[in-house]
Homo-oligomer: A and B are copies of this chain.
Amino acid sequence: MRVAVIGVGLIGGSIGMAASQRLDAETVGFDPDALALALALERGAISHAAGSLEEAVEGADAVFVAAPVSALPALIAEALDAAGPEAVISDVGSTKREVAAVDDERFVGGHPLAGAETAGVGHARADLFDGAVWYLTPTERTSGIRYERLHRMLSAIGARPVAIDPQTHDTLLAIVSHLPHVLANVLAAQAASALGTLGQQLPAAGPSFRDATRVAGASSAIWTDIYMSNRDMLGHAIDETIDRLRVVRETLRAGDATAVTAWNDGAAEARHQLLEPQLGAGELRELRVSVPNRPGVVAHLALELGRAGVNIPDMALYPAPDMSEGVIAFWVAGEDAAAQAQTIIASLGFPVFRA
C-alpha cells in the first residue's frame, strides 16, 4: 500500500509513521517547507520525500491532506487532479462544511481529535491516534468502497472512525473545542488585565484557573483559520454563552441562594451526563447488512450509526460479482451496541442479521 501525506507536521507526520509501522505502507510526503520534509524523512515519518504534490500523490492508494484549514480546498483539488481513479483522498481539517462541497466520489472529509497543536513533525509519533475519535464526513457522493478502505486504515492505525455529517461536526466542535478556546483566551486576557490593575501576581493557585486557561493563545497559525472557518457556528455558541452568563449575573444580583444552588447542581448534573460511559465496550459482534449498490448507502448507514453513538471498530464491504448489490459487515463492541445497531439498520429498511 502506498500512502501520500501532503503537509508533514505533527498530524501528517504521525499518519505517515503509523501507516509505515502499522500498515507496512510505503509513505510519500510533500511539504513546501523543505526543512520539515527533511526532518520527516530523517524521523521515519515518511519513506520518500517528493518534490511536488503531484509526485507525492501519483500512484497512492490513500492521500491525506494535512494543512491549515484555509489551504485545504485548493490542496484537495490538486490532490484529486493528481490522484488515480481508485485512490481515496482525505483531509484532517478541524472544520468540515467547506470541504463537504468537494464533488468527487474519491473524497471523504476527516478530522482526527488528536494533537491539535502546531508542534511539528519533531513531535510526530505512530501512536498519536490510539483510541482517538477520527471523524469522517462521507456524503452521498462518497464511494462506499473508498469509505470502507479509509475506515479500515484508520482503525488499523489505532483510531476510532466515527461518521458524522459536516454540519453536525462543525456545530459539535464549536461547542467542545472552539468555544473552550475562546473562553480560555477571554479569561487569560481578563485576568492579566485585572492582576495588572490590582498590582497582584497570579497565586500558585488551585487547579481551576490553570485548567481554564491552559489552551489560551494556541497558535494563531492554526487557530485563526479554525475560528474563521467556523465563525457562524462559533458565533451562535458565543451568543448562547453570553445569554447563560446573563442569567447567572441576574441570579447573583437578585441574591437568590436557592437559584444559585439549583444552577450549580444543574452544572454538576450536566457534567455527569457528559462523562457517562459511552456505548461500545465489550467483545466485538458482527452484523451483516445487505445493501443495494447505489451511491451514498455506506455513508448513510455509517452516519446513522455514528449519530446513535455506536462505535464501529471495523467494517468490510463484500460486493456481489455483478456489483448490483453487496453486503456490509460492521463489527461493534458489546451486546448492547450490537442490538442497538441492528434496530437502527432494520428501521432504515435494510435486511440485517447477526453473523
| A interface residues (Cβ-Cβ under 8 A, vs B) | 113-116, 131-133, 135, 160, 162, 164, 168, 171-172, 175-177, 179-195, 198-209, 211-218, 220, 223-224, 227-228, 231, 234-235, 237-242, 244-246, 248-249, 252-253, 255, 257, 260-261, 263-275, 278-279, 307-309
Beyond contacts A184-B208, A192-B270: 9 other A-B pairs, Cβ-Cβ < 8 A, are: A131-B204, A185-B263, A188-B271, A199-B308, A201-B278, A212-B212, A216-B270, A217-B265, A242-B245
Docked Cα-Cα span, A168 to B267, in Å, equals 28
The 19 listed contacts between A and B (C-beta, < 8 Å) are: A115-B206, A168-B200, A171-B198, A172-B203, A185-B248, A186-B248, A187-B241, A188-B270, A189-B244, A192-B270, A192-B273, A201-B309, A204-B278, A208-B214, A217-B271, A228-B252, A242-B246, A242-B249, A245-B245
A194 with B171: CB separation less than 8 A = yes
**Given the known A-B contacts A113-B204, A202-B275, A278-B201, are A227 and B180 also in contact in the complex, defined by CB atoms under 8 Å?**
no
Q: How far is the CB of A281 from chain B (nearest CB, A)?
A: 12
Decide if B264 touches A190 in the complex (CB within 8 Å).
no
Known A175-B191, A189-B244, A198-B171; contact A206-B113, beta-carbon cutoff 8 A = yes
**Chain B residue contacts of A272, Cβ below 8 A:** 217
Q: By the criterion CB–CB under 8 Å, are A224 and B185 in contact?
A: no
Contact A212 B239 (CB under 8 A): no
In the complex, the chain B residue whose C-beta lies closest to that of A194 is B175
Shortest distance between the CB of A246 and any CB in chain B (Å): 7
One of B193, B240, B279 near A190 (C-beta < 8 A): B240
Chain B residues closer than 8 Å to A199, beta-carbon distance: 307-308
Contact B185 A208 (CB under 8 A): no
The answer for the CA separation of A172 and B188 in the assembled complex, in Å, is 13
Residues in B whose Cβ lies below 8 Å from that of A220: 260-261, 264-265, 268
With beta carbons under 8 angstroms apart, the residue of B132, B214, B235, B253 that contacts A231 is: B253
Complex interface: chain B residues within 8 A of A269 (CB): 192, 217
Q: How far apart sit A345 and B280, CA to CA, in the bound complex (Å)?
A: 65
Task: Please state if B224 and A260 are interface contacts (CB–CB under 8 Å).
Answer: yes
A239 CA to B184 CA in the complex, in Å? 16
Asked whether A244 and B186 contact (CB < 8 A) given A171-B198, A264-B220, the answer is yes
A200 touches B235 (CB 8 A): no
Could you say which of B194, B216, B217, B245 contacts A182, with CB atoms under 8 Å apart? B245
Report the Cα distance A183→B248, complex, angstroms.
10
Residues on the B chain within 8 Å of A181, using CB:
208
- Distance of A282 from chain B, by nearest CB (Å): 16
With contacts A192-B270, A217-B267 taken as known, whether A245 is within 8 angstroms of B238 at the C-beta atoms is: yes
